[in-house]
Amino acid sequence: MLTKFQRSHNFCQILTSMVEKKDQNLTSRPPVVVVLGHVDSGKTSILDHIRKTQVAEKEVGGITQHIGAYQVEKEGKKITFIDTPGHEAFSAMRARGAKVADIAILVIDGVEGVKVQTKEVILYIKKAQIPMIVAINKIDRSEANSEKVKRELSQQNILVESMGGKIPSVEVSARTGKGIENLLELILLVAEMENLKGDISKPAEGVVIESYLDSLRGPTATLLLRDGVLRSGDIVGTSSIFGKIRILENFQGESIKIALPSTPVILLGFENIPQVGEKFKVFDDIERAKDYLQKPKRKEVGEVFFIEPGKKVLNLILKTDVLGSIEAIEGVLKSLPQEKVILRILKAEAGDINESDVKLAKSAKAKILGFRVKISPIAQSLAEKEKIKIMTFGVIYDFVQDVRELMEKILEPEVVRTDLGKLKTLLIFRTEKKRQIVGARVTEGEIKKGVLIEIFRDEEKIGQGKLINLQMNKKDIEKATKGDECGILYEGDTKIEEGDILVIYTQERRKGEL
């Protein structure tokens, strides 16, 4: 019979064996780094210099519009980067980027300093509870001031090491490459301190970084693997969709057989487009993948834009290149003033504009808006035949501005009146059928030709007309001011009499404004 000591000793041995076995399944994995910062801070340019590609030059308007994942190598060690959009419309996408990362690079323009959007990004990083590295960019410019940036950061409770804090910082120039090597070394140092591990014994799992419908290859998703080994032929599923991997590629579009933790991959095989930000898992069979699905929630129009009776409505059909863009654009549209015109999105999906979109637009009297998508030839032909408006965009700034203009066109023009002055009728020189020549004195303001006239008699408005011409001393003049006596050529149905007060004003129709 075992003693109490022996039983305790045996239990410790079993526990130690279990831990050692578990440790054998753990492998060091590359750090996943999210690059965050305000618009034009140089995030994409920094990544360009690191991976020696020219993504920034390919971006429309110089703005990254999607989340992209890339992997680079430094001193034989890999680093996975997530590049996130800088425009404020993509707040949700940037927040999602921080959630899947191990380390955040906060990029700040060394000239502009801490902006409102920078403060927003800092909140994301703090909420994600991941280590931060501050990269002060554009340090090659003479007006750059890194010390000022550090002081501004301290006001946001971000204290860098050079100011007695614990957050590492580095000065970089995406243009010259200065400090980029130091940034990579810092990333590897922080990653080593974090001791990042991936469990290769677990079924593969991770996060959907981006998804879209490729017109030639079908539903396509960018995944970031966190644990396990992902293989071509695996059955994968999210809470909304499942499928079998038929094509597995690395971030450069090269075919691969397997992917290890912290690896970004492009996957083809989902039955439909998965939702951005969803977690994915590998399953033993299709039935188990189906069991993982959640019942889709029907998204009613009223849940997004409530329509009040009698209000003007602009119906929209929204097509984008990727699902992440839909989320961002819907957020922007919600921010547009809708007291006068309500926006109603009838359909929002990723993919090119097709025939069914045009048919829906015709029946619902809707406009079709495409963000970085193409129009199928059949859809284009049908739209021209049915006179359906299709608008496509490559940059979100243009998108928002044109939607605003569409809303304003629905509004009735606003009539704006401006009172200029008053005349007192002194003498009637000539009266014709609809015209009179009248002598008068300017009692208020300024009078000029080509304006409108209201006729008041005994303080009651009795008619109106136009001031065709203005004379003084039998000479045409452009204007007359208070105290001047002048002759006017009046045109109108109401006859002016001596003693009448003439109110002079202008009136213009201005397009409706939100």
Please check whether the two domains, 200-292 and 414-510, share a CATH topology.
Answer: yes
**Which CATH class, in words, describes the domain spanning 27-196?**
alpha beta
Can you spell out the DSSP letters for 440-456? EEEEEEEEETT-EEEEE
Range 305-410: architecture per CATH? 3-Layer(aba) Sandwich (3.40)
Positions of the chain with pLDDT lower than 70, given as ranges? 1-24, 53-67, 84-99, 294-310, 512, 514
Cα dihedral angle (291, 293, 295, 299), rounded to 10 degrees? -170
Domain 414-510, classified CATH 2.60.40.420, yes or no: no
- Return d(Cα 496, Cα 491) in angstroms, integer: 10
Q: Quick one: tokens of 488?
A: 């006017």
Sheet containing strand 169-171, edge to edge, reads 68-74, 77-83, 32-37, 103-109, 132-137, 169-171
Strand 235-237 relative to strand 242-250: parallel, antiparallel, unpaired?
Answer: antiparallel
So what's the pLDDT on residue 300? 41
What b/e readout covers 179-197, taking b as 16+ CB neighbours within 10 angstroms? Answer: bbeebbebbbebbeeeebe
Contact 169, 162 (CB under 8 A): yes
Domain definitions of the chain by residue range = 27-196, 200-292, 305-410, 414-510
pTM: 0.63
Q: CA distances (Å), 356 to each of 135, 137, 216, 298, 376, in order? A: 48, 47, 18, 20, 11
Q: CA distances (Å), 29 to each of 329, 446, 448, in order? A: 35, 79, 80
DSSP 197: E
Contact 205, 199 (CB under 8 A): no
Q: Quick one: tokens of 397?
A: 């700034």
So what's the pLDDT on residue 11? 44
Crossing angle of helices 377-386/355-364, nearest 10°?
Answer: 20
* Assigned fold of 200-292: Elongation Factor Tu (Ef-tu); domain 3 (2.40.30)
So what's the pLDDT on residue 154? 95
So what's the pLDDT on residue 66? 59
Q: Quick one: tokens of 143?
A: 């007006």
So what's the pLDDT on residue 338? 84
Q: CA distances (Å), 162 to each of 134, 147, 168, 301, 355, in order? A: 12, 10, 8, 52, 60
